[in-house]
């Protein structure tokens, strides 16, 4: 099956007075129809920026400086603004972290849904309103016929996020970019939103790019996962393989920091140090100053994604020549 979304060698830059900052560097992945791809990493890894680049909402002066983004085979990263605006909503939906910033407080949720539906589908006002009510019901909002005429502040956080999901689905998109859709919600509501996303994805046949820093959400929701570090993909593969047999030392550190219910240990594992600033990314592998398995080649050469069992990892440990050198060095 051909990929619905293809991101190839994506590079995003931010020009500043002190020089150009490279925020995303050589990011490549694809998403198949009906697949949920998780994108995970620490704050500042480039997860949300990747999503913003895909939906054409990079904040100036940020710009796509290299690579390409293809949707259904068509290149979309160089589309004129108006064409990209039509693509957004109709073909690519977006769910943002804070529903309050996605909803206009001055308009009822019904008005916002109807406007979005009519912008992308050829429906009159009555049919658009009925579709808006159906979407609210589908996303689990009780008494949708009455609540459609209420304002965002009259909804709880979890209900507002359901409205935002309904908005994202309004134009029947084939791809949904969900940027930390459960971060501001408590755990029980998170679980409801995750199961809702999975169900809607299955029923609508939509693919989802789920951006989060929560490995629990990834494990529960995704088919595959891409782990990002300092603007690059560190590891990508099937979610079970990445979680249970991580091939990159950074991924192993992320997994080790998750509390295990069946193990009795005093302290969680931690990754020493912090992610580098954009203007101070080290030479070679960006993770090398924090890596417990670092050797000389890591400090000099930057690895591309290499085959590492069921996944692919940007780590010289999976290059046979590098492994031999590391063994000799030890």
Which domains occur in the chain, in start order? 5-91+173-261+273-329 (3.40.50.300)
Q: Which helix (H) or strand (E) holds 108?
A: none
Q: Which region, left, alpha or beta, applies to residue 72 given φ > 0 means left and ψ of -120 to 50 means alpha?
A: left
pLDDT exceeds cutoff 90 at 53: yes
pLDDT tens digit sequence for 173-197: 999 999 988 877 788 888 888 888 8
pLDDT tens-digit map of 263-301: 666 677 778 889 999 889 999 999 999 999 999 999 999
CA–CA separation, 240 vs 267, rounded Å?
24
**Residue entry with tokens 């957004």:** 88
Instruction: pLDDT band for 322, please (50, 70, 90 cuts).
Output: very low
Mean pLDDT of 10-22: 93
Mapping DSSP to helix (H, G, I), strand (E, B) and coil, where does residue 115 land? helix
Q: What is the DSSP letter of 277?
A: P
Percent residues over pLDDT 70 in the chain: 94
pLDDT at 15 over 60: yes
Which long-range contacts (C-beta less than 8 Å, at least 24 apart) are formed by 191-200? 191/220, 192/140, 192/158, 193/158, 193/161, 193/162, 193/165, 194/220, 194/221, 196/139, 196/140, 196/162, 196/165, 197/36, 197/165, 197/221, 198/36, 200/138, 200/139, 200/165, 200/169
């Amino acid at each position: 099956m051909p990929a619905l979304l293809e991101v190839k060698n994506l590079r995003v830059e931010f020009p500043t007075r002190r020089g150009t900052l490279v925020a995303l560097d050589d990011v490549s992945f694809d998403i198949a129809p009906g697949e949920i791809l998780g994108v995970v990493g620490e704050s500042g890894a480039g997860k949300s920026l990747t999503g913003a680049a895909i939906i054409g909402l990079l904040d100036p002066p940020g710009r796509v400086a290299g690579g390409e983004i293809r949707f259904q085979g068509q290149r979309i990263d160089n589309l004129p603004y108006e064409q990209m605006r039509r693509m957004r909503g109709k073909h690519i939906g977006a769910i943002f972290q804070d529903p309050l910033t996605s909803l206009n407080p001055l308009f009822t949720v019904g008005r916002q849904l109807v406007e979005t539906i009519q912008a992308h589908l050829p429906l009159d006002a009555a049919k658009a309103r009925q579709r808006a009510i159906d979407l609210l019901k589908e996303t689990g909002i009780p008494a949708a016929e009455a609540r459609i005429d209420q304002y965002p502040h009259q909804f709880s956080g979890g209900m507002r996020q359901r409205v935002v999901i309904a908005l994202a689905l309004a134009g029947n998109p084939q791809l949904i970019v969900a940027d930390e859709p459960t971060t501001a919600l408590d755990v029980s509501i998170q679980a409801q939103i995750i199961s809702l996303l999975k169900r809607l994805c299955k029923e609508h046949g939509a693919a989802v790019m789920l951006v989060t820093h929560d490995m629990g959400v990834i494990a529960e929701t995704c088919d595959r996962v891409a782990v990002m570090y300092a603007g690059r993909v560190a590891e990508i593969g099937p979610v079970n393989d990445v979680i249970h047999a991580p091939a990159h030392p950074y991924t192993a550190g992320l997994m080790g920091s998750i509390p295990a219910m069946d193990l009795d240990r005093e302290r969680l594992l931690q990754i020493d140090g912090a992610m580098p600033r954009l203007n101070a990314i080290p030479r070679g592998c960006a993770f090398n100053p924090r890596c417990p398995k670092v050797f000389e080649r890591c400090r000099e050469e930057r690895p591309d994604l290499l085959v590492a069992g069921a996944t692919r990892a940007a780590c010289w440990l999976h290059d046979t020549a590098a492994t031999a050198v590391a063994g000799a060095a030890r």
